[in-house]
Amino acid sequence: MKATVTEIKHFAVHDGDGIRTTVFFKGCPLKCLWCHNPEGIAHAPALALRTEKCTGCGACAAVCPTGAHKIENGVHSLDRALCTACGRCERECFFDALTLYGRETTVEELLPALLADRGFYESSGGGVTLSGGECLTQSAFCEALLRALKAEGIHTAVDTSGFVPREALARVLPYTDVFLFDVKAIDPAVHRRCTGQDNAPILDNLRYLDAAGAKIEVRIPFVPHHNDGELPAIATLLSSLKNLTGVRVLPYHTGAGSRYAALGMENTLPDVLPTKEALEGAKAILREKGLRVID
């Protein structure tokens, strides 16, 4: 069994408790306007070109089997219609101008890299987090990986949008210590406008996990002029959950802008950043409902 991943991030401190190793899976059914991992949206591998790092050496063009790379008058262009994301050019680039996002791997290949950080997990109360994209679009692989990690005594977390089939959650539920669950909006129209999808399956899956006794940390991306008005309704919903361990308000940022350009994708990132006062106001709304806000 194989899965496609974009990155393995060691020493992560924002993907659950303690020091963690996070595996980012490729593919996501949502297209959030504020997505900060655009390389994880498409299921197929994709090549990123950072022209500001390119020296124009031509090594990539020399090995490209389809002629997708061209360097003319010192300008590097990539014909994405010709690119097959084979990765040969990335291996020849010594200046980090090319990055291939999306490589196939197996549980047997992943496990040693994840277990190598065991000492950090044990000393910090950390573990391994599966993220994305949406990791549960590859739920059979996630189940196998999580089962292997639990057999080694490793704490596990699944970071999910919740926009997945119920069966995907049921697969990983026995091997997941905590779900990091995104709640972006309660109003269906707001959710569709911001993500391109309805939120009914997400809210149903949140209630399913809670009823199943799963530990859940809810994460709310806070984006001015898009979902900031949703906080009261979100707080009301979360106050009804029985197994909520806490809530994080994630301040929106524009740090992924360069990745959209490198991938040849339309940059949909909103322009307005949240103020400190607005963030504190959002947290106050949650606390008024008796919710534990994690800073």
Instruction: Assign domain 52-101 to a CATH class.
Output: alpha beta
Find the radius of gyration of the CA atoms of the chain: 20
Calculate mean pLDDT across residues 167-172: 98
Going by DSSP bridges, is the β-strand pair 20-25/103-105 parallel, antiparallel, or unpaired? unpaired
Find residue 9's DSSP bridge partners.
Answer: 22
The ranges assigned to domains in the chain are 3-43+103-288, 52-101
Residues 6+ apart with CB under 8 A from 284: none
Calculate mean pLDDT across residues 225-253: 97
Q: What is the pLDDT of residue 295?
A: 87
CATH topology of domain 3-43+103-288: TIM Barrel (3.20.20)
Say whether 52-101 and 3-43+103-288 share the same fold: no
Is the confidence at residue 11, as pLDDT, over 90?
yes
Is the confidence at residue 74, as pLDDT, over 90?
no
Is the confidence at residue 286, as pLDDT, over 90?
yes
The pLDDT mean for the chain works out to: 97
Burial state string for 152-171 with b = 16 or more CB within 10 A and e = fewer than 16: eebbbbbbbbbbbeeebbeb
Give the DSSP letter of residue 44.
S
Please give the model's pTM, rounded to 2 decimal places.
0.94
45 CB neighbour count, 10 Å cutoff: 19
Q: What is the pLDDT of residue 155?
A: 98
Q: What is the pLDDT of residue 42?
A: 96
